[in-house]
């Protein structure tokens, strides 16, 4: 597996050098410095192979973090370890740069001894390592309790148990769980109004403040789940009243009404079900159960963590529609007419909205008029008109007209017409239609918990060609 780990400064100075196997020597650090860090050629690949030695490296801030191996190792696993190592350093030191490494090199060596054993990654959970690897700057209450009260056996169980991401002695007076569904909408719209690309990349972030070792069950309006439930309800109704043909219709209709009723909550989940693709889960999720019945079951880590990522491409609800008209009047003037319409519920509003309208590079003067809301300004250094709207209500529209004067160019260059870019945030709206149907918490203490759900849709790459 990993034979050595090196951390270099920006100039190539070796700050940390840790060997785990005997198949490499310490002089291999000089090989990486000469052929990669000091190389005049541009380094495009994160993996550099010199002879039989492979260097997996990451450039982070003013540091080079490198893992060396002689074997045919899993590249994805090595890079995952390196990024986890960077996150570990940020968690301990607040930042991970050359100064932090020099000030805490003793602790870094101690951490490297804990997270790697003979080159194989071990437990890299920050919360677990902080229980028994502490510094003067990290003196939390839980660490003091562990040092005074917990026997060494409990630390061993925490480090080697099945749930390394959570302790079993957590206690809160008020048990709460916060769920944030955050979606980024990506759009490419042609000049004729044809959708060339539309997809949603989402993430579900959870903040857990629950006592003990709770078992959580999470439900979404996933198309496969709702179709299965609909079929089950139809079959149950038919078996109970086989002679009555309309019983099946009633049962099927009740499922559809439930989905529609849940989907009509102020722009969240406008469709009955959503076809979720490309799911990526936190390690606490039981993947076997998800593959069997699409149930998201897990024991959550304490505090904030990313539960899952997903992507959808079907039935994307675009929050904004932009209708641009750009006319080039000879070589001296360009006229703009841009109409922006919001497609979400009138009860909702978008915030921090900015419309970036490109202008030719030889623009000299710009006369702008806004009808509706917001303020627009021509920014010469960006070759763009930036239209900022602090609050855009749903089911409304606003327009902008502008006349841009052009100067003569000694060497005329045709204008490539870059696309219009939108930036925005809409609370309690999901472009994919995703809806959290339920969040159940089971714990042996049988306490009551409060759950909160928030939805937010923001612009990813939202472009309209002109």
SS3 per-residue string spanning 42-63? CCCCCEEEECCEEEEEEEECCE
What is the token pair recorded at 278? 């490309």
DSSP string of 360-424, one letter each residue: -TTEEEEEEEEESS-EEEEEGGGTEEEEEEEEEETT-EEEEEEEEEE---SS------PPEEEEE
CA distances in angstroms from 109 to 4, 85, 92, 105, 119, listed in the order given: 12, 12, 13, 6, 14
Mean pLDDT in the chain?
A: 83
pLDDT of residue 171: 93
Q: Check whether 217 has a pLDDT greater than 80.
A: yes
pLDDT number for residue 241: 39
The answer to whether residue 149 scores a pLDDT higher than 60 is no
For the chain, state the CA radius of gyration: 28
Q: pLDDT by residue (tens digit) across 369-415?
A: 999 899 999 999 999 999 999 999 999 999 999 999 999 887 878 88
CB atoms within 10 A of CB 277: 11
Which residue matches tokens 């089971």?
Answer: 442
350 vs 253 pLDDT, higher one = 350
Condensed to tens digits (0 to 9), the pLDDT of residues 22-52 reads 999 999 999 999 989 988 877 778 999 988 8
CA dihedral 131, 133, 135, 137 (to 10 degrees): -40
Q: Is the dihedral of CA 322, 328, 334, 337 positive or negative?
A: negative
426, pLDDT greater than 70: yes
The dihedrals phi and psi of 390, each to the nearest 5 degrees, come to: -70, -35
Question: 409 vs 268, which has greater pLDDT?
Answer: 409
**Angstrom distance (rounded) from CA 166 to CA 33:** 39
Residue 207 has pLDDT above 80, yes or no: yes
Which residues pair with residue 69 across a beta bridge? 54
Stretch 446-457: mean pLDDT, rounded? 94
C-beta separation of 332 from 405 below 8 A = yes
**What is the pLDDT at residue 250?**
26
Beta-strand (E) ranges in 172-295?
176-189, 195-209, 215-220, 277-281
Percent of the chain, pLDDT > 70?
A: 83
DSSP state of 37: I
Q: Which of 177, 173, 196, 198 is nearest to 187 (CA)?
A: 198
Worst-scoring range by mean pLDDT, 49-53, 126-130, 437-441, 460-464?
Answer: 126-130
Predicted TM-score (pTM) of the model is 0.68
Identify which of 346, 200, 329, 345 has the alpha carbon closest to the alpha carbon of residue 274: 200
What does the pLDDT average to over 44-67? 92
56: which strand partners? 47, 67
Please say whether the beta carbons of 225 and 274 come within 8 A.
no
The tokens for 367 are 């006369």
pLDDT (mean) for 142-148: 37
């Amino acid at each position: 597996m990993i034979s050595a780990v090196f951390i270099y400064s920006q100039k190539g100075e070796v700050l940390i050098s840790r060997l785990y196997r005997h198949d490499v020597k310490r002089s291999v650090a000089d090989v990486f410095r000469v052929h990669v860090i000091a190389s005049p050629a541009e380094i495009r690949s994160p993996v550099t192979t010199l002879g039989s030695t492979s260097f997996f490296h990451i450039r982070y801030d003013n540091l080079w973090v490198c893992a060396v191996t002689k074997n045919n190792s899993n590249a994805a696993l090595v890079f995952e370890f390196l990024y986890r190592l960077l996150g570990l350093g940020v968690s301990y030191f607040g930042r991970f740069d050359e100064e932090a490494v020099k000030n805490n090199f003793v602790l870094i060596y101690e951490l490297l001894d804990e997270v790697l054993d003979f080159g194989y990654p071990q437990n890299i959970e920050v919360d677990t390592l902080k229980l028994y690897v502490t510094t003067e700057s990290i003196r939390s209450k839980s660490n003091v309790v562990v040092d005074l009260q917990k026997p060494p056996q409990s630390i061993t169980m925490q480090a080697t148990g099945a749930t390394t991401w959570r302790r079993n002695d957590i206690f809160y007076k008020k048990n709460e769980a916060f769920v944030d569904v955050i979606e980024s909408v990506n759009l490419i719209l042609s000049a004729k109004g044809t959708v060339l690309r539309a997809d949603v990349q989402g993430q579900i972030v959870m903040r857990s403040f629950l006592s003990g070792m709770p078992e959580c069950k999470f439900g979404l309006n996933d198309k496969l789940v709702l179709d299965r439930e609909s079929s089950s309800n139809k079959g149950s109704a038919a078996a109970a009243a086989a002679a009555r043909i309309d019983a099946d219709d009633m049962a099927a209709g009740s499922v559809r009404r439930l989905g529609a009723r849940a989907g009509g909550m102020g722009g969240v989940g406008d469709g009955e079900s959503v076809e979720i693709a490309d799911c990526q889960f936190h390690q606490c999720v039981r993947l076997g159960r998800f593959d069997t019945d699409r149930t998201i079951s897990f024991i959550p880590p304490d505090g904030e963590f990313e539960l899952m990522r997903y992507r959808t491409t079907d039935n994307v609800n675009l929050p904004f529609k932009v209708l641009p008209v750009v006319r080039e009047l000879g070589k001296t003037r360009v006229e703009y007419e841009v109409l922006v319409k919001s497609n979400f519920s009138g009860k909702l509003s978008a915030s921090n909205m900015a419309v970036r309208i490109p202008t030719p590079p030889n623009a000299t003067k710009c006369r702008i008029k806004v009808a509706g809301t917001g303020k627009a300004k021509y920014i010469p250094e960006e070759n763009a008109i930036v239209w900022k709207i602090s609050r855009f209500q749903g089911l409304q529209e606003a327009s902008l007209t502008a006349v841009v004067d052009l100067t003569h160019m000694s060497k005329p260059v045709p204008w490539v017409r870059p696309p219009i870019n939108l930036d925005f945030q809409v609370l309690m709206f999901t472009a994919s239609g995703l809806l959290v149907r339920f969040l159940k918490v089971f714990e042996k203490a049988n306490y009551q918990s409060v759950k909160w759900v928030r939805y937010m849709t923001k612009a990813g790459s939202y472009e309209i060609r002109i």
